[in-house]
């Protein structure tokens, strides 16, 4: 895999360099609520611009249905990228149309442009190779060189991620190179004890990675909505808590495998419950109650790990040499149910281990809850991509960058 430093050494002055970034940031209307993914691509864009390249940045945002939708416009992300670079960033109002062609043609060395949301074109996500390839051909006409730096999308077989690199000389940006280096530390020659903390809503999203980690991790701590499927599998009353009944047989199998292989699978010993899901807009007090994990009232639902579980999980992280965390412990967006996620984040900060926050909601929680990002070993920009890498899958976007 060619690195961006090798590309820069060859010279990019005057060349049109297409940077596939991940600017898929959360928006409240047109206001960016977490700019972490934009900041992550700045080193690559800045290095190319300073080397005299004409930089064309492209990304997806959200899930538009293959047609323009202003609710998913990249205009706010383009403006924020300009602020972070300290320079004007041009914005094309389409992907491969007149605006994109004109905007890119007008760039001079050192200038940067962002083209509109790639998913406004159905060819970006098409399962039809020909349709996807045709869109990749149009994108290739805008550039001389391709730099992949959107780690959050490398697990997708999309035109700009998989097909476009085959059509242009290509290299990996700083972000992708760093992400791969970090993930290798979680899969090759891991420093032990190796502790994995998994949360989030659905256990189905994490089963494949649990399957792999049962042969690699020393401890797996389970929290978030997915914990209640584990508790149900143990025969506990979980009230009206989130549960995936169809996943219970697989969960039972994993619990048994953990016991046989000596992997410490740690479940909540208590949980915070409330009669209903909290209002995340008004943040109205929900008045939660802490109850034992095996005694959740039938009319209550679990929304966060309880105080005893926070202490337990922190103690399980204390002596770790490597920690990977993916998924919040509760509904951290509401102050009444943020303490579990906050406790795990604090335990990582206090640990002497090499700590990796696996993107997605976990990365957002770290920033929203006010933690210093520098206190963690690495904060990934791609939750889904990180998990699939740990599952041992071949990621199309990484495979496409191989020489």
Q: Are strands 270-274 and 301-305 parallel, antiparallel or unpaired?
A: antiparallel
Residue 170, both tokens: 């290509």
Instruction: Dig out the tokens for 362 from the structure.
Output: 């976990």
Which of the following is catalytic: 123, 152, 200, 360?
360
Determine whether 360 is an active site residue. yes
Catalytic residue check, 377: no
Between CA 158 and CA 132 the distance in angstroms is 7
- Which one is catalytic: 185, 202, 311, 367? 202
> b vs e for 308-347, b when ≥16 Cβ sit within 10 Å of the residue's Cβ?
ebbebbbebbeebebbbbbbbbbbbbbebbbbbbbbbbbb
Taking the C-alpha atoms of 183, 189, 193 and 198 in order, what is their torsion angle to the nearest 10 degrees?
A: 30
Report how far residue 127's alpha carbon sits from residue 163's, in angstroms, rounded to the nearest whole number: 12
In three-state form (DSSP H/G/I as H, E/B as E, the rest C), the secondary structure along the chain is: CCEHHHHHHHCCCCCEEEEECCCCCCEECCEECCCHHHHHHHHHHHHHHHCCCEEEEECCCCCCCCCCCHHHCCHHHHHHHHHHHCCCEEEECCCCCHHHHHHHHCCCCCCEEEECCHHHCCCCCCCCHHHHHHHHHHHHCCCCEEEECCHHHCCCCCHHHHHHHHHCCEEECHHHHHHHHHHHHCCCCCCCCEEEEECCCCHHHCHHHHHHHCCCCCEEEECCCCHHHHHHHCCCCCCCCCCCHHHHHHHHHHHHHHHHHCCEEECCCEEEEECCCCCCCCCCCCCCEEEECCCCCCCCEEEEECHHHHHHHHHHHHCCCEEEEECCCCCCCCHHHCHHHHHHHHHHHHCCCEEEECCHHHHHHHHHCCCCHHHCCEECCCHHHHHHHHCCCCCHHHHCCCC
Active-site annotation holder among 15, 16, 37, 132: 37
| Residue 15 falls in the annotated catalytic set | no
202 is catalytic: yes
Active site residues: 37, 202, 360, 384
């Amino acid at each position: 895999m060619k690195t961006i430093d090798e590309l820069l050494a060859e010279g990019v002055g005057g060349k049109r360099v297409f940077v596939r970034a991940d600017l898929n940031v959360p928006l409240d209307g047109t206001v960016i609520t977490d700019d972490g993914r934009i900041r992550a691509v700045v080193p690559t864009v800045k290095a190319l611009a300073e080397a005299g390249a004409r930089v064309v940045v492209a990304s997806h945002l959200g899930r538009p249905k293959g047609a323009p939708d202003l609710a998913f416009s990249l205009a706010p992300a383009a403006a924020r990228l300009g602020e972070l670079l300290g320079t004007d960033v041009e914005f094309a109002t389409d992907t491969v149309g007149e605006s994109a062609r004109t905007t890119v043609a007008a760039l001079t060395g050192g200038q940067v442009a962002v083209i509109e949301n790639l998913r406004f074109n159905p060819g970006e996500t098409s399962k039809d190779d020909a349709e996807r390839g045709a869109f990749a051909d149009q994108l290739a006409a805008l550039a001389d060189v391709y730099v992949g730096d959107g780690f959050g999308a490398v697990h997708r077989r999309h035109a700009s991620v998989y097909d476009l690199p085959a059509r242009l000389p290509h290299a990996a940006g700083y972000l992708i190179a760093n992400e791969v280096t970090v993930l290798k530390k979680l899969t090759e020659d891991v420093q032990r004890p190796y502790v994995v903390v998994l949360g989030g809503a659905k256990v189905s999203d994490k089963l494949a990675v649990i399957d792999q980690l049962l042969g690699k991790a020393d401890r797996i701590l389970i929290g978030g909505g997915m914990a209640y499927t584990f508790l149900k599998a143990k025969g506990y009353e979980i009230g009206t808590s989130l549960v995936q009944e169809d996943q219970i047989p697989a969960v039972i199998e994993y619990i048994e495998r953990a016991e046989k292989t000596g992997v410490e699978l740690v479940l909540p010993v208590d949980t915070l419950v409330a009669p209903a899901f909290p209002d995340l807009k008004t943040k109205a007090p929900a008045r939660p109650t802490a109850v034992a994990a095996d005694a959740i009232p039938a009319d209550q639902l679990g929304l966060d790990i309880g105080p005893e579980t926070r202490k337990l999980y922190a103690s399980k992280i204390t002596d770790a040499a490597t920690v990977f965390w993916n998924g919040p412990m509760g509904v951290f967006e509401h102050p009444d149910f943020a303490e579990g996620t906050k406790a795990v984040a604090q335990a990582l900060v206090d640990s002497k281990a090499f700590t990796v926050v696996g993107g997605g909601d976990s990365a957002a929680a770290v920033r929203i809850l006010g933690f210093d990002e520098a206190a963690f070993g690495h904060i990934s920009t791609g939750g889904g991509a990180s998990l699939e890498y740990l599952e041992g899958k071949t990621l199309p976007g990484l495979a496409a960058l191989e020489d």
